[in-house]
């Protein structure tokens, strides 16, 4: 009676009850272990964010729970109404396709419909259509489904397909999004194929339910990320398309920014030896680069597109030209009146008047040619040219008894721009896009791992000496990511061959300007040195620059 619990005065009954209690305890402990394992699996599935690894983990866990020798996972392709092979594993045959294997499952998808009728002949499509669980002890003894494929496979490989468990994967809306198919449950004691026990069926059904929800969540996250990415690119494209002269600017700056960041990651020496951007940090920087000019969506197009000094909605040099034609005609009329007056006075001498008239017309033409020339903004306006411009603007002409200046105050102000085409007021409008970018980006609910996108995007016009905009930040306040983007933005702008207000700059000249900006403490010298030492300027130039710009 040692070890036997006393439940009754009858020894035989005690032994029977003791055996029952032990079996119940073993069964309960086994169930608890399975439930615990199922809970752990659920946590693991919820934590996985990579779809390929998640699908593989679903098959592995299902095979582990049921002691299956093989497993296949299909996902529903709703557009083409078929089941797509995702993962295929077979322990005995040492087969691993899909997932982390790097090998695609080269089998054709299973159609859910044939000739517009539901395909119930394939067990996987039957489950995918009906949502029923199918548990088959031996596929060779079943006539309901077509197992020609498995039998052909068995005859070619020597494998023997016996038991099969096929379970639908349903999401939270009870839609079937996949099918899990397990083959040949192995008896742990004998090591031989056996049927899938009912308790395993229930566990596997619970696993399939958890797996479907986890898969749906991962797909939802991936879809949201894809949507977010698409929206970013749409906004960036819209900004670029606002101006026919800056199309592709954002794409090129993004590519250049990431080129520099990846090179920093690969550098194992020098000032960046301790810097290693994580995958999330690289993604954060990439999104910031895509969005760095989002504020330009509020910048007037005529300012962005200002290719000439007098340009607004149109280039007002045409108005100036028309005005000078009028001035010329006024001069002609005045000389004609002088000749008429002379005809009434036979003694009048017109020779000096004719010389003055010719000189006046020549001066008018020369002045107009000068204005047309400086309107382009291609050359620096020196003191002599500025003085000549002021003298022209001060001249007047008369029409209908009223006197008018050769140039309006606004025309004089615009033509007086020393370098480029923008007035100080217009430059402030342009510069304001950086602040607007920050304001817009701060309204977006970026996840924690992208929380610094507004800071990086809005800091690409800051300078190390504090003379940049919009906040005048200094070197100590500027993160490395913003410094990288600043160099990329400047280099792209210098070398761009699609700007109407300047000739395409030679590569050597662009590098010289960047070096000068380093000396002035405007951009980061360590990034510039890496940029040149690693030949990134050449890699970019080969891809984006015209041949006549390539002088290095």
Write out pLDDT tens, residues 455-475.
Answer: 999 999 999 999 999 999 999
> Would you say the C-alpha torsion 94, 98, 104, 105 has a positive or negative sign?
positive
Is-contact 479 453, C-beta < 8 A?
Answer: no
More confident residue, 184 or 24: 184
Query: Is a pLDDT exceeding 50 seen at residue 19?
Result: yes
As a whole number of angstroms, the distance between CA 454 and CA 440 comes to 8
Give the mean model confidence (pLDDT) for residues 376-400.
92
Helix (H, G, I), strand (E, B) or coil at 146: coil
In tens, the pLDDT along 101-146 reads 888 888 899 999 998 899 999 999 999 999 999 999 999 999 899 9
- Number of Cβ within a 10 Å radius of residue 10: 10
For residue 514, pLDDT over 80 is answered with yes
Could you report how far apart the first and last alpha carbons of the chain are, in Å?
A: 98
- Check residue 52 and give its pLDDT: 76
Nearest to 483 by CA among 443, 423, 531, 421: 531
Percent of the chain with pLDDT over 70: 90
Q: How far apart are CA 178 and CA 72, in angstroms?
A: 11
Q: How far is CA 404 from CA 51, 394, 398, 409, in A?
A: 74, 10, 6, 12
Residue 244 to residues 217, 234, 306, 307, 455, Cα–Cα distance (Å): 41, 16, 11, 11, 28
Most confident of 263-272, 440-449, 510-519: 510-519
* Mean pLDDT lowest among 36-45, 157-166, 344-353: 36-45
More confident: 376 or 225: 376
pLDDT of residue 543: 93
Q: Which class in CATH covers the domain with range 48-220?
A: alpha beta
Q: pLDDT class for 1, splitting at 50, 70, 90?
A: very low
The stretch 466-495 carries a mean pLDDT of: 95
Give bridge partners of residue 474 from the DSSP assignment: 465
Residues 52, 215: Cα–Cα separation, whole Å: 10
Given CATH 3.20.20.70, say whether it is the number of domain 243-300+428-549.
Answer: no
Q: Is the pLDDT of residue 246 over 70?
A: no
pLDDT, mean over the chain: 87
Instruction: Quote the pLDDT of residue 445.
Output: 87
For residue 474, give the DSSP letter.
B
C-alpha gyration radius of the chain: 40
The pair of three-digit structure tokens given for residue 244, joined into one six-digit string: 């026919």
**HEC sequence for 484-500:** HHHHHHHHHHHHCCCCC
Predicted confidence at residue 348, as pLDDT, reads 64
Residue 532 or residue 218, greater confidence? 532
Model pTM score: 0.65
Whether residue 322 is predicted with pLDDT greater than 70 in this model: the reply is yes
Q: What is the pLDDT of residue 239?
A: 76
């Amino acid at each position: 009676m040692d070890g036997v619990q006393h439940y009754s005065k009858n020894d035989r009954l005690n032994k029977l009850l003791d055996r029952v209690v032990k079996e119940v305890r073993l069964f309960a402990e086994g169930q608890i272990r399975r439930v615990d394992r199922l809970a752990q699996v659920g946590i693991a599935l919820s934590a996985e964010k990579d779809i390929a690894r998640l699908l593989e983990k679903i098959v592995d866990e299902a095979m582990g729970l049921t002691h299956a020798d093989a497993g296949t996972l299909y996902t529903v392709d709703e557009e083409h109404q078929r089941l797509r092979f995702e993962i295929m594993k077979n322990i005995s045959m040492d087969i691993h396709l899909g997932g982390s294997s790097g090998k695609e499952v080269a089998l054709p998808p299973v159609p859910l419909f044939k000739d517009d009728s539901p395909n119930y002949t394939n067990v996987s499509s039957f489950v995918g259509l009906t949502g029923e669980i199918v548990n088959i002890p031996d596929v060779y003894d079943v006539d309901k489904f077509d197992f020609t494929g498995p039998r052909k496979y068995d005859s070619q490989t020597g494998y023997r397909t016996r038991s099969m468990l096929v379970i639908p994967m349903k999401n939270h809306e009870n839609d079937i999004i996949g099918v899990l198919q397990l083959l040949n449950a192995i008896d742990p004691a004998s090591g031989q194929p056996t049927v899938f026990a009912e308790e395993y069926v229930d566990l596997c059904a619970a696993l399939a339910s958890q797996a479907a929800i986890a898969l749906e969540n991962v797909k939802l996250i991936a879809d949201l990320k894809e949507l977010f990415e698409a929206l970013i690119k749409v906004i960036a494209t819209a900004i670029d398309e606002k101006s026919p002269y800056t199309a592709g600017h954002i794409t090129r700056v993004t590519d250049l920014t990431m080129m520099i960041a990846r090179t920093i990651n690969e550098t194992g020496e020098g000032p960046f030896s301790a810097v290693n951007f994580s995958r999330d940090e690289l993604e954060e920087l990439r999104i910031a680069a895509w969005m760095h000019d989002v504020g330009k969506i509020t910048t007037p197009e005529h300012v962005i597109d200002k290719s000439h000094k007098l340009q607004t909605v149109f280039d007002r040099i045409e108005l100036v030209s028309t005005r000078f034609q009028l001035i010329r005609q006024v001069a002609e009329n005045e000389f004609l009146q002088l000749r008429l007056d002379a005809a009434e006075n036979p003694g009048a001498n017109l020779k000096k008047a004719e010389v003055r008239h010719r000189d006046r017309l020549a001066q008018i033409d020369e002045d107009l040619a000068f204005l047309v020339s400086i309107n382009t903004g291609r050359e620096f306006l020196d003191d002599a040219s500025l003085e000549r411009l002021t003298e022209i603007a001060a001249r007047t002409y008369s029409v209908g008894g009223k006197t008018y200046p050769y140039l309006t105050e606004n025309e004089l102000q615009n033509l007086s721009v020393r370098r480029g085409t923008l007035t100080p007021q217009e430059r402030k409008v342009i510069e304001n896009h950086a602040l607007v970018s920050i304001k817009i980006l701060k309204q977006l609910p970026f996840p924690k791992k992208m929380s610094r996108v507004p800071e990086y995007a809005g800091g690409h016009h800051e300078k190390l000496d504090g003379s940049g905009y919009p906040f005048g930040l200094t070197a100590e306040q500027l993160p490395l990511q913003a410094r990288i983007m600043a160099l990329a933005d400047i280099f792209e702008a210098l070398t761009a061959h699609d700007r109407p207000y300047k000739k395409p700059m030679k590569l050597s000249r662009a590098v010289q300007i960047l070096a000068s900006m380093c000396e002035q403490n405007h951009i980061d010298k360590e990034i510039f040195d890496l940029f040149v030492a690693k030949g990134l300027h050449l890699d970019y130039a080969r891809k984006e620059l015209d041949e006549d710009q390539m002088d290095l």
